[in-house]
Amino acid sequence: MIIFARPNKDNTVSFGVKKRELLPYSLEKKNKPNVNLEDDTNSVLDTTIFKAGIATYSGIIKNFDEKSTEKTGMIHVNNIFTGDQDSHLININHDGTFSVSFPCYHLERVYVEFPKIYSALYVAPGKTTWHFVNSSNRSEGFFAGDLKQLNTDIVSLNGMLFDHQDYSDNRNNIKNITPQAYKATCFNIQKKQLLKLDSISRRRFLSRKAYEIMRNELIYRSYENILSYDMYNGASYKDSANVTVKYIKFITPEVLNNKSAVETSSYSSFINRLKFLKHFREGISVTYPNFMELANIIKNQGVTFTDDEMTLIEMYKTYNKENAEAIKRSKEFNDKYKEVASDINKKYTELYTNMSEEERKKYFGKNRSLEEITKYIKQNNLDIVFTEAEKEYRKESENLWTKEEKKRAELFFSEENKKKNRAFNDKYKSYIDKYIHKELDKQGIEKYKENLGETFSTDVIIAQEILGTLINDYIPFSESELIEAKKEVKNAFVANVINIENDKLMAKIEANKTKTGAVFNTTSNKEADKIFETIISKYKGKVVFVDFWATWCGPCRSGIKKMKPFKELYKDEEVVFVYISSPSSPEATYNNMIPDIKGEHYRVSKDEWNYLKSKFNISGIPHYLLVNKEGEVVKQNTSDLRSPESLKPILDSYLEKE
């Protein structure tokens, strides 16, 4: 293509593909409210909201320093159907150019991180967003490509998009107003902002799509704030009671079925607030399976038991047969007092959590007495009161079995059999967890359908529940599990997304098998109190970053994702990244996941983990350590170990030390 250019006397230059149809351009922004531009968003973006495809983000960074040690960026894509964020590495070429392609399901706002530059922009499946990035002056950047007009318009509205002051003032005043007054103020803010948007669109050109997105953004932002009342008011989840069915009457089927809302950043927060409303989750509980129920659950998964396990199972069968009447009586009693038992157990849990180990043995040991526990509560001025129904339940439960039945139970549940039972439970913990999560998800899904009806937003929430399990377990669904999962949603595209995400995980696990860089290590035959020294001694002379983590820990996995491009900067340096996990990480999930995490991996025993927790005062994970070249811990879980930006100068300083 030939582009014609002509310099003008007013310091502008006219460009065009035809000599007689040139348009003037300037390096300075000029306000010309009467200029009518062609709305290219109508032709570029069709009316189909959802489409599985590949989006491309390309461009160039002006004044990029090719000698810089930072030659990568990240693009973060929020996946509304998984509730997760997918992050993709951007490699920056020596001349500052870059290009990255990634899967997405609809037009959406993504977040880009370059060295010292952060921006938000729109991408779409099958489309290219081209971005000129000015590293020294963000206002001089511009967009080209398929979404140039949309991105230009949205950036020009950033002042509105990021103006949260009115909502902030409302939150700061929350203790002084009623829930209804707080909600009314949110609606007034929404009305004010929508009027401002309309005023802007009358004064200047604004593409149809930018207007639609911004309007939805402001509406769903207000909904998100309204649903956040209890959270902003400082109420614990247990005590949150103001966001009731009556309070959320404004959430109509029209609100829940607005599919174009997915194109806003507010919708994901709206969905998050909605799915965690207390009255949506009340009454959801799962009874922990007894030994024989657990054995059947495991057997149905195709597991073959050992001879010792079969002997234990037969012993339980015999015991259950001999005590069938007493067991039946217990079941009927527990069914009758299910709610009362749940309430009293919550109080027991609250007490137990705050007791010392010695107090736990005294009050929750073999001869647990409600009378003694009540005395303890009074002595410590605790705000826990047992109802008459709970006292009656406890009294009846103590007299449920005859003396003879109690004696048989005591003989059967000997210390030896208890030890075998614990070993059985420990071995098959992942099966127990999967069963419990599946039952909780099943009840949760029914609750969402009951409260929200068969709407698009219901399907989004259900997809997040289903795919959340898939992502956390890192184990693909079987054919039958996939069929059952897809049946739970009504929207055909959402059902297809479940299929796509399952295929993606299978492909990722398969690709992981050929990856290098993740090293499995063992620590066999080492005493627990020597475990850390044993691990670290292997890397003497190098700086070691230690990450205590687990496969089920969301923040751990998020941190690992964030560190992925950062580790590439040190692939040729004397730096080692060590990952330590415990048996709480299910083995199948762990084995599928770690080939994609470059570094030295250790899955220590329960005793070794307990020792490490005690040694480094680990109260939660992720927990980070930095070890110098001499093998000394020089930093422990400080905030500067949690982000690549703050960690880099620290690592560099210890690398320089001899």
Task: Tell me the pLDDT tens digit for each residue of 437-475.
Answer: 888 889 999 999 999 999 999 999 999 999 998 888 888
If pLDDT is split at 50, 70 and 90, which confidence band does 606 have? confident
Write down the mean pLDDT value for the chain: 88
The answer to whether residue 326 is domain-embedded is: no
If pLDDT is split at 50, 70 and 90, which confidence band does 367 have? low
How far is Cα 109 from Cα 275, in angstroms, rounded to an integer? 22
Q: Mark which of 232, 256, 281 sits at the end of a domain.
A: 281
The answer to whether residue 124 is domain-embedded is: yes
Q: Mark which of 281, 311, 344 sits at the end of a domain.
A: 281
Looking at per-residue confidence, does 487 or 526 come out higher?
Answer: 487
Highest-confidence segment of 231-240, 439-448, 496-505: 496-505
**pLDDT for 597 beyond 90:** yes
- Count CB atoms within 10 A of the CB of residue 381: 6
How far is Cα 295 from Cα 403, in angstroms, rounded to an integer? 29
Are 489 and 546 found together in one domain? no
Q: Mark which of 156, 174, 191 sits at the end of a domain.
A: 156
How far is Cα 656 from Cα 658, in angstroms, rounded to an integer? 6
Are 604 and 636 found together in one domain? yes
DSSP, residue by residue, 386-444: --HHHHHHHHHHHTSS-HHHHHHHHHHT-HHHHHHHHHHHHHTHHHHHHHHHHHHHHHH
Structural tokens at position 592: 């599928």
The pLDDT assigned to 601 comes to 95
Decide if 209 contacts 45 (C-beta within 8 A).
yes
The answer to whether residue 547 is domain-embedded is: yes
Percent of the chain surpassing pLDDT 70: 94
The pLDDT assigned to 353 comes to 79
The pLDDT assigned to 218 comes to 95
Are 265 and 187 found together in one domain? yes
Structural tokens at position 192: 């004010």
The answer to whether residue 526 is domain-embedded is: yes
Map residue 519 onto helix, strand or coil: strand
Task: Tell me the pLDDT tens digit for each residue of 173-184.
Answer: 999 999 999 999
Are 562 and 473 found together in one domain? no
Instruction: Produce one character per residue of 415-424: b if its CB has 16 or more CB atoms within 10 Å, e if not.
Output: eeeeebeeeb
Structural domain including 62 reads 52-156
Q: How far is CA 428 from CA 117, 159, 160, in A?
A: 48, 54, 53
Decide if 547 contacts 579 (C-beta within 8 A).
yes
Bond from prior residue into 622 cis (ω within 30 degrees of 0): yes
Residue with tokens 């062609």: 38
Of the chain, the end-to-end C-alpha distance in Å amounts to 59
**pLDDT for 46 beyond 70:** no
Task: Tell me the pLDDT tens digit for each residue of 248-306.
Answer: 999 999 999 999 999 999 999 999 999 999 888 887 878 788 899 999 988 988 889 99
Are 525 and 646 found together in one domain? yes
The answer to whether residue 407 is domain-embedded is: no
- Count CB atoms within 10 A of the CB of residue 183: 22
Radius of gyration of the chain from Cα atoms? Answer: 30
Q: How far is CA 354 from the centre of its chain?
A: 28
Q: Which of 24, 43, 44, 45 is nearest to 35 (CA)?
A: 24
Average pLDDT, stretch 34-55? 74
DSSP, residue by residue, 597-611: S-EEEEE--HHHHHH
Task: Tell me the pLDDT tens digit for each residue of 313-346.
Answer: 999 999 999 999 998 998 888 888 888 888 888 8
How far is Cα 467 from Cα 457, in angstroms, rounded to an integer? 15
The answer to whether residue 580 is domain-embedded is: yes
Are 107 and 185 found together in one domain? no
Task: Tell me the pLDDT tens digit for each residue of 403-439.
Answer: 888 888 889 999 899 899 988 888 888 788 888 888 8
User: What is the tally of structural domains in the chain?
Assistant: 5
Classify residue 172 by burial, with Cβ atoms within 10 Å: 0-12, 13-18, 19+.
Answer: exposed
How far is Cα 98 from Cα 73, in angstroms, rounded to an integer? 9
Task: Tell me the pLDDT tens digit for each residue of 79-118.
Answer: 999 999 888 889 999 999 999 999 999 999 999 988 878 8
How far is Cα 646 from Cα 81, in angstroms, rounded to an integer? 32
The pLDDT assigned to 240 comes to 59
Are 188 and 94 found together in one domain? no
The pLDDT assigned to 506 comes to 93
The answer to whether residue 632 is domain-embedded is: yes
What is the number of H-type helices and E-type strands within the chain? 28, 17
Are 579 and 600 found together in one domain? yes
Q: What are phi and psi of 443, to 5 degrees?
A: -65, -40
**pLDDT for 39 beyond 70:** no
Are 60 and 134 found together in one domain? yes
Are 151 and 169 found together in one domain? no
Decide if 518 contacts 598 (C-beta within 8 A).
yes
Structural tokens at position 484: 């059952």
Q: What is the SS3 string spanning 110-127?
A: EEEEECCEEEEEEECCCC
The answer to whether residue 394 is domain-embedded is: no
Decide if 113 contacts 496 (C-beta within 8 A).
no
Are 4 and 130 found together in one domain? no
The pLDDT assigned to 433 comes to 81
DSSP, residue by residue, 10-66: TS-EEEESSTTS-EEE-SS----TTPPPP-THHHHS-S--EEEEEEEEEEEEET--T
Q: What CATH number should be reported for the domain holding residue 592?
A: 3.40.30.10
How far is Cα 629 from Cα 239, in angstroms, rounded to an integer? 50
**pLDDT for 1 beyond 60:** no
Are 13 and 85 found together in one domain? no
Query: Residues for the chain: how many in total?
Result: 658
Structural tokens at position 438: 């599946």
